Amino acid sequence: LAKTTQPISMDSYEGQEVNITCSHNNIATNDYITWYQQFPSQGPRFIIQGYKTKVTNEVASLFIPADRKSSTLSLPRVSLSDTAVYYCLVGPDTGRRALTFGSGTRLQVQP
Amino acid sequence: GAVVSQHPSWVICKSGTSVKIECRSLDFQATTMFWYRQFPKQSLMLMATSNEGSKATYEQGVEKDKFLINHASLTLSTLTVTSAHPEDSSFYICSAREGLRREGRDTQYFGPGTRLTVL
């Protein structure tokens, strides 16, 4: 699986838009980009997945440039409840393989 | 949506005892289940891959005789930590793969985790 690099931590305030960028320079042609969210003492939760361009759902948006060597998770108008660790994963679109989690980005939202 | 449960959610045991953790897929059949371990402030580390009806595949460095995994049915996998020691204290998380594509993707669903504390 492609190695990913994310900022270790980020701080934000309620109501702001948060953008977390992930670098994945050796992404393969058949790799998808998936983001998970994890609250303390809970299992990870799927947020969004994309292959190229832009994907949006009710929770977040995912921006992927043409070269796919990076991606940006965008959380609009964060609230205190968005304080969590966010993981960027890159790999084939199949649940058959185990997921390889990097260090993740610890987002702290303050009032 | 697909739900995965774990039992117990937390357990405290004495050193030398064995602890069993259950992982269940509640509304789907899981062809594959994965077990992860997470230490405080660290990321998830894969321990083993479990396929229904066959032996689990362990990651390098994970003792298969210490962490016994059984996947006897399509909805249940168990992880037994044998002769637990304080260094085994961790957060154990399972995930399950349904094998079907929902919303255009084949994904894994994670359980809520089990906090193991060995005294």
Residue B119's pLDDT is 96
pLDDT for B104 beyond 60 = no
Shortest Cα–Cα distance, A58 to chain B (Å): 14
Extract long-range pairs of B97-101: CB within 8 Å, 24+ residues apart: B97/A95, B97/A96, B97/B30, B97/B31, B97/B32, B97/B33, B97/B34, B98/A95, B98/B2, B98/B25, B98/B28, B98/B29, B98/B30, B98/B31, B99/A95, B99/B29, B99/B30, B99/B31, B99/B32, B100/B28
Kindly list the residues from chain B whose CB atom is less than 8 angstroms away from the CB atom of residue A46. 107, 109
Q: Which residues of A touch B (CB under 8 A)?
A: 32, 34, 41-46, 49, 87, 93-96, 98-104
pLDDT greater than 70 at residue B12: yes
Residue B76 sits at the chain A interface (C-beta within 8 Å): no
Q: What is the pLDDT of residues A89-100, one digit of tens each?
A: 998 866 567 788
Instruction: For chain B, give the mean pLDDT.
Output: 91
Which pLDDT band holds residue B1 (cuts at 50, 70, 90)?
Answer: low
Q: What is the pLDDT of residue B33?
A: 92
Res. A52: pLDDT tops 60: yes
Residues of chain B with C-beta less than 8 angstroms from the C-beta of A101: 36, 43-45
Q: pLDDT for A24-43, tens place per residue?
A: 999 999 889 999 999 999 99
Higher pLDDT, A3 or A79: A79
Nearest to B105 among A41, A45, A93 (CB): A93
Cβ distance A43 to B112 less than 8 Å, yes or no, reads: yes
Q: What is the pLDDT of residues B13-57, one digit of tens each?
A: 999 999 999 999 998 888 889 999 999 989 999 999 988 888 899
If you average pLDDT over every residue of chain A, what do you get?
Answer: 92
Of A93, A98, A101, the CB nearest to B43: A101
Q: Is the pLDDT of residue A1 over 90?
A: no
> How confident is the model over B65-80, as a mean pLDDT?
93
Interchain contact B97–A (C-beta under 8 A): yes
Q: Does residue B111 sit at the A interface (CB-CB below 8 Å)?
A: yes
Residue A85 pLDDT class (50, 70, 90 cuts) = very high
